Structures are given as C-alpha cells and as structure tokens.
Amino acid sequence: MDSLIYLYGLIPTKEAAKQLCPSLKGFDGIGDVYTFPIGKITAIVCNLDSENYSEESIKEQINNNMEWLQEKAFHHHETVMKLSKIFTIIPLKFCTLYNNSASLETAVQSNESKMMNTFALIAGNEEWNLKIYCDDQLLKKQVSQSNPTIEAKREEISQLPKGKQFFEKKKLDKVIETELEEEKNKVSEKIHSHLREFALKGNVKRPWSNDVTGRKDNMTWNGVYLITESKVEDFLEQIQQYEKEMRESGWQFEASGPWPAYHFSSFS
Amino acid sequence: MSLKESIENKDIALIDILDVILDKGVAIKADLVISIAGVDLVYLDLRLLIASVESLVQAQEGSRATTVSSEQFDRQREELSNATSQPNKWEN
C-alpha cells in the first residue's frame, strides 16, 4: 500500500527536541500524526493511503460531500490549533500532500531560510481576528440627524411643492447612503489604526457579505492582527471598550483567536 | 477569567476555519495541494451553502444562534446519521 504524506505544519526542530508532539490521530482517523525532522525544521505529518486520497477523490469529496469537508476541515484546524499551543508553527494549507518523504524534504529544504525567518516573526506572537458589524438603519438615523448639510437640505425640501419633494427626497436618500458608507469606513479605519498600535502587524481582509455571515447587520471591517502575547489582553480590553461605547449606536465587535498564524506565515 | 480565555473558549464557525485553511494556509511546493485556483469556485458555492445551513439553524433556534458552531454541526451530523441509521462515527 502506497502512502502519501499529509503535511499539517512546520515547527522549529529546536522546539521539537524539547517537547514531545502530543499523540493525535491523523487525517484518516486511523493513523497517527508524527514528526519528521528535516534539518532545522520539523514537519508534522501523517500518512494517507494513496488510493483513497488521490487528487481526484479529494476533489470529488470537497465538491460533493459537505459532511466530509466539515469533518476534515475541523480535523485539520483542530490539529494545527493543538500544535500551535505548544510549538511555533507555520500552518499549511488544507490538503497539502506529498507523494513521498523525499519530495517533502526537497520542498522544506528549498524554503529553509524563509521558513526560519517566519518562525522568528511569529514566535511568541498570536494571530487575532476582529470583525466589526454595523446596524445600518441605526447609524443612518444618526448620520442624517447630525449632519448639518443634510439637515439644511431637508429643511429646503420641506418648503418645496409636493411633486418636487418626492424627487428631491430620493436624491437626499442617495446622499445619506453615501455619507453612511463614508462614516462606516471612517470609524472602522480609525479603530483599526488604533488597534494596530497594540499589534506588530495588522492586515485588512475583505468583509463578508450577509449571505456568508447570515446576519442582518453588515460586516464593515474584517481585520487580522499579529500581537505579542503580553499585549493580547490590552488589545481585547480596547475592543471591549469600543463595544461598550458604541453598542447603542448599532456597532458590534467580534474578536476571535488566538489563531495559528495563518495570515502572517506566508513567504513569497 | 481573562478576556482572552473567555474568547478562546468560544466555538469557531466552520466558515471562519475554511476561510483561513483554504485561503491563507501556507502553500509550499507540494505534489498536491488543493489550490486556490481550483477551490475558488467551490469556495463560493460553499459559502452560499454554509450561509443557507446557517439560516436554517437560526430559523430552528431563534435569534440566539448567530454563528454555526462546531457543536451545532455535531448535532446536525448526529441527526443525519441517525436518520440514515448508520453507526455514529462522530461520537467519541
């Protein structure tokens, strides 16, 4: 039976020597996860039967078997999560497979210096995600009430004949929409740049649509931050502070973490 | 309990996991990696599918549930496997 090698992540061999890898079941639920040292870097892997886990069969499962994908995605994530609590880990993409150990060795060896740099960046730091949501209706009220231009315009419209009022109101609605978007961006960007002060790095991701989140309020910000462990609590307290101050005006904050450094481990 | 601990213990939604492991995990030269290019379309479909599962869960549980947690998925899996009367491979 031929074995493929499934790669979960990479850790510094120095750390692997100090601390045993916990006993974890592999991707197929049968075999075990084990360490595979390649010089300064140790790969965390498991074996997979090449017939059951060929490219075609994995693609087939991903496309047509949601349950399989859920199970395996959770497995991959949970394995990397557990390891990230013990080791500095570069998390690999879901379903990264090698035909044999020689091929894995080549891939790791040819990226060794970049990987070592990445370890240096992420060691002792945590990745956190912050999603900011906003209830547009609530904020719209505030925007349209507190904006002098809009108030003046509204006053002007009320003096017009009925027929004209309709079209002018439509125009005004558009202006309010634009103001709302600008206000949302301005507020979110300000928060981001403030939170950025707690972090070593901060990246902005595309916010998700309501189809994805399944929520009524809109996601206005999706940011990821790499934060030194000792500063995480301050970072989260600041978010809690924002939440307290802004909840009533329709803002919600959702922080999640610590994540394995998915967004700060890439090297190109 | 610190803020960190309370957030750490929250369930993470599948969509958050897929977002990072399909999109952001490190890709190094591999014999096979389910690549972004191949996954992008699937990924879009998935998001829709997950969103629909999510609204289903919400409809069932009222407004309390805002994210699909692994616990909720576990329950659904259980129901599915009970319905098909297969042995439950999800149980520990």
Q: What is the pLDDT of residues A36-57, one digit of tens each?
A: 999 999 999 999 998 899 888 8
* Whether pLDDT at B62 is above 80: no
**What range defines the domain where residue B9 resides?**
3-83
**What range defines the domain where residue A55 resides?**
3-122
Residue A266 domain flag:
no
- Looking up residue A137, the CATH number of its domain turns out to be 3.30.70
Whether residue A160 is found in the same domain as residue A253: yes
Largest interatomic CA distance in chain B: 46
Whether residue A177 is found in the same domain as residue A240: yes
The residue in chain B having the minimum alpha-carbon distance to the alpha carbon of residue A104 is: B30
* Whether pLDDT at B82 is above 70: no
Q: Which of B9, B21, B76 to substitute to test the interface with A, most A CBs within 10 Å?
A: B21
Residue A264 domain flag:
no
Q: Which of A69, A74, A93 sits opposite B33 (nearest CB)?
A: A93
Using the 3D structure, point to which of A122, A150, A178 is the last residue of a domain: A122
Query: Contact at 8 Å (CB) between B24 and B78?
Result: no
Whether residue A229 is found in the same domain as residue A162: yes
Whether residue A65 is found in the same domain as residue A160: no
Report A:130-189 residues touching B (Cβ under 8 A).
Answer: none
pLDDT in tens, A83-116: 999 999 999 988 889 988 998 999 899 999 999 9
Contact B29 A236 (CB under 8 A): no
* Whether pLDDT at A73 is above 80: yes
* Whether pLDDT at A79 is above 70: yes
Whether residue A132 is found in the same domain as residue A248: yes
Structure tokens at A15: 């750390």
Long-range contacts of residues A139-144, Cβ cutoff 8 Å, at least 24 apart: A139/A180, A139/A183, A139/A184, A139/A249, A139/A250, A139/A251, A140/A176, A140/A180, A142/A249, A143/A176, A143/A179, A143/A180, A143/A183, A144/A176, A144/A179
Residue A265 domain flag:
no
Residue B88 domain flag:
no
Distance from the A32 Cα atom to the nearest Cα atom in chain B, whole angstroms: 17
Residue B49 domain flag:
yes
Count of domains observed in chain A: 2
Distance from the B78 Cα atom to the nearest Cα atom in chain A, whole angstroms: 11
Residue B21 domain flag:
yes
Please give the model's pTM, rounded to 2 decimal places: 0.79
Half-sphere exposure of A105 (CA within 13 A, CB side): 7
Residue A268 domain flag:
no
Alpha-carbon distance A192 to A200, whole Å?
Answer: 13
Contact A91 B8 (CB under 8 A): no
Residue B91 domain flag:
no
Residue B34 domain flag:
yes
Residue A176 domain flag:
yes
Structure tokens at A129: 């995600």
Residue B92 domain flag:
no
Is the reported ipTM for this assembly greater than 0.90?
no
Alpha-carbon distance A223 to B76, whole Å?
Answer: 30
Whether residue A49 is found in the same domain as residue A98: yes
Of these ranges, A100-109, A141-150, B3-12, the one predicted with the greatest mean pLDDT is: A100-109
Whether residue A178 is found in the same domain as residue A240: yes
CB atoms under 10 Å from CB of A124, counted, come to 10
Whether residue A104 is found in the same domain as residue A222: no
Count of domains observed in chain B: 1
The residue in chain A having the minimum alpha-carbon distance to the alpha carbon of residue B29 is: A107
Contacts of B4 in chain A (CB under 8 A): 232-233, 236, 258
pLDDT at A211: 72
pLDDT in tens, A170-228: 998 898 898 899 999 999 999 999 999 999 999 999 888 887 777 889 999 999 999 99
Residue B86: which residues within 8 A CB-CB, separation 6 or more? Answer: none
Contact B58 A214 (CB under 8 A): yes
pLDDT at A1: 54
pLDDT at B89: 44
Q: Which of A11, A27, A57, A96 to substitute to test the interface with B, most B CBs within 10 Å?
A: A96
pLDDT at B35: 43
Radius of gyration, alpha carbons of chain B: 16
Whether residue A185 is found in the same domain as residue A206: yes
Range of weakest confidence among A122-136, A204-218, A250-264? A204-218
Whether residue A96 is found in the same domain as residue A207: no
pLDDT at A44: 97
Residue B23 domain flag:
yes
Residue B90 domain flag:
no
